[in-house]
Structure 1
Amino acid sequence: MPTVDLRIFRCESGYNANGELVVVRAKLDKHRPIDVWLPSLLKVNTLAAPLRRKMAYRIKQHELNLVLSFLSMSNSNNSRVGARVADLKSAARHIGAFVTESVGMGMLTATVSDHFRWSGNHDDLEHFDALPARLAGDYYRRGVRRDLLFLDPTAGVSRMAGEARGRSTRPPTKMRPTAEQRRRLNQMLGWSERHSYHPVTMAWTCLGGPALAVDLFDMTLPPSGQRRPASSSAPEPSPGSRVPEAEAGGPRSIARAGDAPGDRAAESHGEQINERLAGRSYHVVDGTGELGFAEMDFEMGMRAYVPNFVDYLYETAPENDRQVLDDEPVRGGWVKTDLVGSSKTHLFLGVLRREQLEERQDMLRRRRLEGGWTDDIQVDVFGRLIVAVALDSAAAPSWEQVSTRLE
């Protein structure tokens, strides 16, 4: 099973002389490899849908293929997921930023699942740029936002907000957070304070080393009795929005979102450039030879389960009469992930006519945790979408090889 390098930092927060909530202590707690289930690495991008536009199957398949094509991996022992760094840095900025963003978001979900034991499915994951009405009123509509909101399926209203940072640089080697990481953590703590001390975390992913490397920050907020009111400089909520009451569960409760346009200016070392690709806005750091983390447009959201989006994917996906699951047709097919170089990895994107029972998705997660990590064909289901990745395969596997892993 391919792995990436993971470092866990334990961070304690407190108040500085100006009364601001900041990181006061940060300790490297663990440094270990983490197994990567490749369909889950693609999860966020798979579920991202244009809320005001249709997306044809071939576009969605090409997006996922583009991400995997910039990565190198195999299923051999001690294999690590790496990036094609030279290709990534030579690509157009908006292409490199899209890949970096997608990998960063994927590693956020992977590390939250691994470290915080988040067990949610696609119904328990939201993007802050497109929160459903039942959640949108709990958060400020202006100013800094996080990226993803992880809802805990076992704890009612418990949530964690997650920040995903992606860099094309080599990973940091210091045993403490870098100045850039600490600055971002402090911004997150300010957001947490303004939202009644909302639990937060950050995954900082670097693609420029021999393997993907992630720094995950486990943030401890002040005890309830020591918490101060948000400073007077906190932004006023937009009309109709409200701040949630403090939630029980402490720092290990689950939630996160993306930043408002222009917020990333503070971390830019050069000119801020806006690019558009496939209807998305990207906010790219230039001037240093490095790719910064791309900004996802407010029109993009975790909406793969919205009927009109998936219906159109199904309508435009290629038909194959031999692909049937529980007497339901599965449209779609395999593609080789060789857009930027030779590859033995294949990607399958399938679209079901009807959504699968949640029990099947739970079964796949249990099987994975019980020893399915060594499989050379990794399969997952997100609502009506099936994503499979075949490693070290000279040819695309058969549908039967996918369907047997869904039984």
Structure 2
Amino acid sequence: MNTVRARVWQFEIVPGAGGDPSVHARKLGGMALPVHLARLVHINALACDFRRVVDYRIRVHEARLLTSYLAAPSGLALQVDYSSLLATSLHVRRFISECAGLGVMTAGSEKLFSWKPGRDTLHSFDVLPPGPLQTKYGTFGVRPDLLFHLPNGPVAGEARGRHREAKTLFPKSPDSNQKERLLQLAAWSADLKDHPYFMSWVWIGATGVGVDIFIPKAGWWGGDGLQLGAIQEEYEPDWWIEPPRRVRRSELDDGMDGRLSVPRRGRTRTNVVAIRDRTDERVEGVLDTLYRTAGPTVGSFAGVPVRGSWAPADELGTARHDVLIGILAEYPSGQRRARRRPEGIELAGKRADVHLEGRLLTVVRETGGTWPSWAQLEEELLEV
């Protein structure tokens, strides 16, 4: 397990000078947000547009690319090969930033809102299932990225990320792109009778990886459900964000660089399927396609045929990690549960970070030695 330095802000939407929503954010403090690299790979492996081509080989290639730039020494802060990141093209920087943003937002939802993968449903706003959700939220215009269904009610989540060339990792005042997106989401929330949402904004810089997390004010969305115990109080001036003009629903923050674009009809990266809703044929379609394109069956896991292979994260030279994305032919029977080891495990003599959920297993392991077999993985990861 690794951590990301987080600043946690609590915000409320108040009427602006012209009647449009404005945002007042107050810093609650800072915290070390737990981030599992295998979980980050896991959530991005599902972040594919199932209306297009879904291919296991592409998921592995992207995982290798991501873990080539990110470094995760056991128990320490998540790091990035920043000099290499600066030397690469803009679209690669945006890809790394967006993947990190999606993973860190998911980590924030688990830590602060107690969202549990496999228990609580998760939807992408870009691919909401037909029915009540589409009727309520629509299918076009400015919207957050994900919809987390929690015991206290639904909360929307927004993931953003960008690299930062300044010497300090965090800005002292809100970035112009942060302002724009917070105001757009405030207008979206107001149109839906103050729908609760939160936003994570990842910064990747020379000193590491950090995130600004904006959470709703207490009482707006079941405030007692927020888990704030790990936050250490730190003072910074409040942020008052006023709308310079009317934010139109047809305007869109295209992603990592904050530029406006045409109305969105679906992103290509953050289309995370509803993991828990196993009856959704689209979920099964994505997993079935990944399984079908993953090559021959290589063994069994929990008594179920499994496909997938190890790959070195060596896109920048000598690998520091090896990555495994394993796809099971079907859901395990549930007789053997995954062991809960938040600090990671040791596999074949090397430290590893593991995430197992449903039919998808992801492992990020320190490189070196012989890759563990499926029998070894089953012995280490499942309860007897």
Per the TM superposition, whether the score is higher than 0.5 is yes
Change (3 A) 1:268 1:348: closer
2-structure distance, mates of 1:123, 1:106: 17
Change (3 A) 1:10 1:386: same
Secondary structure at the aligned position of 1:183 is classed as: helix
Stretches of structure 1 that go unaligned for 5 or more consecutive residues are 224-247, 254-258, 275-281, 283-294
TM-fit CA distance, 1:34:
2.1
Given that 2:2 and 2:72 are in contact with CA atoms closer than 8 Å, whether structure 1 keeps it comes out as yes
* 2:360 alignment counterpart: 385
2-structure distance, mates of 1:36, 1:269: 25
Given that 1:14 and 1:222 are in contact with CA atoms closer than 8 Å, whether structure 2 keeps it comes out as no
- For 2:30, give the aligned amino acid: H
2-structure distance, mates of 1:394, 1:343: 13
- For 1:181, give the aligned amino acid: Q
Secondary structure at the aligned position of 2:86 is classed as: helix
- For 2:291, give the aligned amino acid: Y
% same residue: 30
**Is 1:163 aligned to residue 171 of structure 2?**
no
1-structure distance, mates of 2:377, 2:207: 31
- For 1:142, give the aligned amino acid: F
Change (3 A) 1:384 1:149: same
Secondary structure at the aligned position of 1:212 is classed as: strand
**Is 1:314 aligned to residue 288 of structure 2?**
no
* 2:90 alignment counterpart: 93
**Is 1:296 aligned to residue 291 of structure 2?**
no
1-structure distance, mates of 2:290, 2:372: 22
Report Cα offsets for 1:29-66 as digits up to 9, x if no partner: 22122222112212332112332334222122112221
Given that 1:388 and 1:402 are in contact with CA atoms closer than 8 Å, whether structure 2 keeps it comes out as no
Equivalent runs, 1:245-324 vs 2, <5 Å: 249=222, 263-264=252-253, 296-297=267-268, 300-302=271-273, 306-321=283-298, 323-324=299-300
Given that 1:9 and 1:30 are in contact with CA atoms closer than 8 Å, whether structure 2 keeps it comes out as yes
Report Cα offsets for 1:329-388 as digits up to 9, x if no partner: 111111111111322311111111111357867x55xx245xx44662222223211111
* 2:196 alignment counterpart: 199
2-structure distance, mates of 1:193, 1:261: 15
- For 1:101, give the aligned amino acid: E
Given that 1:169 and 1:207 are in contact with CA atoms closer than 8 Å, whether structure 2 keeps it comes out as yes
Given that 1:83 and 1:207 are in contact with CA atoms closer than 8 Å, whether structure 2 keeps it comes out as yes
2-structure distance, mates of 1:325, 1:172: 42
* 1:291 alignment counterpart: none
2-structure distance, mates of 1:146, 1:266: 11
TM-fit CA distance, 1:108:
0.6
Equivalent runs, 1:108-187 vs 2, <5 Å: 108-121=105-118, 124-134=121-131, 135-152=133-150, 154-155=151-152, 158-170=153-165, 172-174=169-171, 177-187=174-184
* 1:355 alignment counterpart: 331
2-structure distance, mates of 1:6, 1:358: 35
Secondary structure at the aligned position of 2:309 is classed as: strand
2-structure distance, mates of 1:325, 1:267: 38
1-structure distance, mates of 2:13, 2:250: 27
TM-score of the aligned structures, taking structure 1 as reference length: 0.75
Count of aligned pairs between the two proteins: 349
* 2:320 alignment counterpart: 344
1:334 to 296, 303, 310: 310
* 1:397 alignment counterpart: 372
**Is 1:40 aligned to residue 39 of structure 2?**
yes
Secondary structure at the aligned position of 2:182 is classed as: helix
2-structure distance, mates of 1:329, 1:266: 38
Secondary structure at the aligned position of 1:191 is classed as: helix
2-structure distance, mates of 1:266, 1:378: 28
Given that 2:301 and 2:374 are in contact with CA atoms closer than 8 Å, whether structure 1 keeps it comes out as no
2-structure distance, mates of 1:301, 1:86: 30
2-structure distance, mates of 1:131, 1:16: 31
TM-score of the aligned structures, taking structure 2 as reference length: 0.79
Stretches of structure 2 that go unaligned for 5 or more consecutive residues are 227-247
Given that 1:197 and 1:221 are in contact with CA atoms closer than 8 Å, whether structure 2 keeps it comes out as no
2-structure distance, mates of 1:386, 1:5: 27
Report Cα offsets for 1:165-212 as digits up to 9, x if no partner: 110115654555444423322221111111111111110101113221
